[in-house]
Amino acid sequence: MKKLCLVIVAFVFLLGNYSFANTSETTDALVTGKWVNKSDGYKVRAGSDETVERYKGIKFEKNQTFVLDSVKMKFSGEWKVIDNILYLEFNDHNIDPKIASFSDEGLIIGNDLYKSYSGAVAGLLNFYEFTGVPNATPGHLLMVLVGVFFIFLAIRYNYEPLLLIPIGFGIIIGNIPFYQAEGFNLKLGIYEEGSVMSYLYFGVRQGIYPPLIFLGIGAMTDFSSLISNPKLMILGAAAQIGIFLTFLGALYLGFSPAEAGAIGIIGGADGPTAIFLSSKLAPHLIGPIAIAAYSYMALVPIIQPPFMKLIVTKKERLIRMKPPRAVSKLEKIMFPVVGLLLTAYISPSALPLLGMLFFGNLLKESTVTKRLADTASNALIDIVTILLGITVGASTQADIFLTPQSLKIFGLGALSFIIATCGGLFFAKLMNVFLKGDNKINPLIGAAGVSAVPDSARVVQHEGLKADPTNHLLMHAMAPNVSGVIGSAVGAGILLSFLM
Alpha-carbon 65 to chain mean position: 47
Kindly tell me which of 122 and 419 has the beta carbon lying closer to other proteins.
419
User: Angle 491-300-386 (CA atoms, 0-180°, nearest 5)?
Assistant: 80
Return the number of other C-beta atoms located less than 10 Å from residue 46's C-beta: 7
Choose, by CB under 8 A, the member of 86, 146, 173, 227 that binds other proteins. 227
Q: Is 414 in the site for other proteins (CB under 8 A)?
A: no
Q: Is 207 in the site for other proteins (CB under 8 A)?
A: no
Q: Is 331 in the site for other proteins (CB under 8 A)?
A: yes
Kindly tell me which of 80 and 322 has the beta carbon lying closer to other proteins.
322
Choose, by CB under 8 A, the member of 108, 188, 251, 386 that binds other proteins. 251
Enumerate residues 6+ apart whose C-beta is below 8 A from 52.
Answer: 40, 42, 44, 135, 180, 181
Cβ-count burial of 172 within 10 angstroms (0-12 exposed, 13-18 middle, 19+ buried)? buried
Q: How many residues bind other proteins (CB under 8 A)?
A: 59
Instruction: List Cα–Cα distances, 27 to 64, 113, 440, in angstroms.
Output: 9, 18, 95
In sequence order, what DSSP letters do the residues of 342-392 get, joined into one string? HHHHH-GGGHHHHHHHHHHHHHHHTSS-HHHHHHIIIIIHHHHHHHHHHHH
Kindly tell me which of 339 and 443 has the beta carbon lying closer to other proteins.
339
Q: Is 231 in the site for other proteins (CB under 8 A)?
A: yes
Q: Is 491 in the site for other proteins (CB under 8 A)?
A: yes
Q: Is 199 in the site for other proteins (CB under 8 A)?
A: no
Q: Scanning residues 22 to 51, which ones bind other proteins (CB under 8 A)?
A: 47-48
Distance, CA of 138 to CA of 130 (rounded, Å): 18
What is the b/e burial string over 279-300, where b = at least 16 CB atoms within 10 angstroms of the residue's CB?
A: bbbbeebbbbbbbbbbbbbbbb
Q: Is 361 in the site for other proteins (CB under 8 A)?
A: no
Q: Is 234 in the site for other proteins (CB under 8 A)?
A: yes
In sequence order, what DSSP letters do the residues of 406-427 get, joined into one string? HHHHHHHHHHHHHHHHHHHHHH
Q: Is 286 helix (H, G, I), strand (E, B) or coil?
A: helix
Kindly tell me which of 109 and 234 has the beta carbon lying closer to other proteins.
234
Kindly tell me which of 276 and 335 has the beta carbon lying closer to other proteins.
335
Kindly tell me which of 58 and 154 has the beta carbon lying closer to other proteins.
154
Q: x-or-dash pattern for other proteins, window 258-297, by CB under 8 A?
A: -xx-----------------------xx------------
Choose, by CB under 8 A, the member of 9, 21, 85, 338 that binds other proteins. 338
Q: Is 333 in the site for other proteins (CB under 8 A)?
A: no
Distance, CA of 385 to CA of 379 (rounded, Å): 10
Q: Is 254 in the site for other proteins (CB under 8 A)?
A: yes
Q: Is 495 in the site for other proteins (CB under 8 A)?
A: yes
AA identity, residue 135 = N
> What does the DSSP 8-state code read for residue 183?
T
Q: Is 337 in the site for other proteins (CB under 8 A)?
A: no
Residues of this chain that interact with other proteins (CB under 8 A) are: 47-48, 226-228, 230-231, 233-234, 236-238, 240-241, 243-245, 247-248, 251-257, 259-260, 284-285, 322-326, 328, 330-331, 334-335, 338-339, 342-343, 346-347, 400, 403-405, 483, 486-487, 490-491, 494-495, 498-499
